[in-house]
Structure 1
């Protein structure tokens, strides 16, 4: 049996705990650090945790541009394989694009994924602070395929998804200093936004295949992704959905002022599933990558 700690990437974190595990997936241009508060909280609640690193992330813009959504998803499957060998129940939670990737894994691996945590899910960039190019992101796959905007990038803007000014200043300071391992990139390359749109369409067209119970945490005042994104989940998945709407946070609910609620209710949600779900998948079962 492989040891996740021996295979861990520099920016990842693995916290050994009980026989229920949670895979944490960060967002586009982000890092595992944005999932660290949640990871620590779930670990204190008794879960094993793997905060993974998406392919092409935690480096420079060229590293990100060398990858697409299928590469990001392949790294999710690889990380899920590592954690699944160590646990009897596997839960998957993601922030922003990470939540979309979590849904993709649940679609492809319904027997291996026991439940989902979907935080600030972003199918569409349509929040109140989204710049015009974000709202027109659905056009980017076409534009970039025609060679338009391949060298363009959209800078992150205030309030950077974080309402808590102290945390915002700390994270933005690291991001603008170029510390991509700690805080991610300071902008969104258009080709990468185009890849997110391709992933979004892919998952939305298949969301009815989701059979894993979902815990959805989303800000009612999300500056990046409106509640439209929540409605897609609530109306689309074929499984129970428990929603938590937060009124004192922005997009980054895993680090913002109400992260304690996200942690507490995620732990309760996952534990209730683990307590009642029989073990019908052998420990160590493979989850080979499948991209339909």
Structure 2
């Protein structure tokens, strides 16, 4: 097993498993880490799928390091992971939590032939918070603001995120949101979207924009009643794992049947 870099927090390492000819790429969210997706990745691996859970640059270390990265770095990491899965697998599904959902949507926009289906959990492409309008200016005078990690109802769960939000990185995320929103109509892959009724990080505007904006012939909305934002580590995680597995099987079945 590859050793963990000294600056990466224990538990925030990427997860990888080589299974069958169906691959799944899982992307964690802004200021989070692979810890939020690793249990899902292990579940998929137990079902025989090939799985990649990359660590986005600047994540799982310190918020100061993350402030030296931007959305092109994060997208580059998932783009590389998708290429690796495409070389190994016959069908590939991309899934993401929060900002990871935005990265998944961008992959589906830029590489529609390579993404057979999308699974999004509390995806973020916009927020109604008025204070975000000041971030492009604030990033030049303030390094960070209070963090948003670990919005989880289940006691003891930890996504190994930051207690501070790096503002330069946040400003970059806002730029990516704008770019992805402008191209939502280019998303044609079947889409499954899980949405927590109680989410203290991402409001329902993203859900509305995504479901109304994509060109996918199949869109499925699943409401989660017992989880907060990081639902992949929360009480509804088993439902996400089971429902997503069924959705993935349905939209990649021609691989195993053919």
The TM-score with structure 2 as length reference comes to 0.90
Moved more, 231-240 or 268-277: 268-277
Partner in structure 2 of residue 229 of structure 1:
206
Partner in structure 2 of residue 137 of structure 1:
132
Moved over 3 A (4+): 5-10, 276-279
- Provide the C-alpha distance between the structure 2 equivalents of 1:71 and 1:7, rounded to a whole number of angstroms: 22
Partner in structure 2 of residue 196 of structure 1:
173
Partner in structure 2 of residue 286 of structure 1:
none
Written as runs of structure 1 = structure 2, the 5 A alignment for 1:14-163 is 14-126=16-128, 135-144=130-139, 147-149=140-142, 151-156=143-148, 160-163=150-153
- Provide the C-alpha distance between the structure 1 equivalents of 2:148 and 2:208, rounded to a whole number of angstroms: 25
The change in CA–CA distance for 1:273 and 1:245 in structure 2 (over 3 A counts) is: same
RMSD between superposed Cα atoms in Å = 2.3
Unaligned runs of 5+ in 1: 127-133, 172-181, 280-292
Partner in structure 1 of residue 231 of structure 2:
253
On the 8 A contact 2:63/2:166 being kept in 1, the answer is yes
The TM-score with structure 1 as length reference comes to 0.80
Partner in structure 2 of residue 284 of structure 1:
none
The change in CA–CA distance for 1:135 and 1:266 in structure 2 (over 3 A counts) is: farther
Moved more, 201-210 or 5-14: 5-14
Larger relative contact order, structure 1 or 2 (CA cutoff 8 Å, min sep 6):
1
- Provide the C-alpha distance between the structure 1 equivalents of 2:85 and 2:2, rounded to a whole number of angstroms: 12
Structure 1 residue 79 displacement after superposition:
1.4
Alignment partner of 1:271 is 2:249: yes
In the alignment of these two chains, the number of paired residues is 250
Structure 1 residue 154 displacement after superposition:
2.1
CA deviation digits over 1:110-154, x for unaligned, max 9? 00011111111012345xxxxxxx54213312443xx233x2322
Unaligned runs of 5+ in 2: none
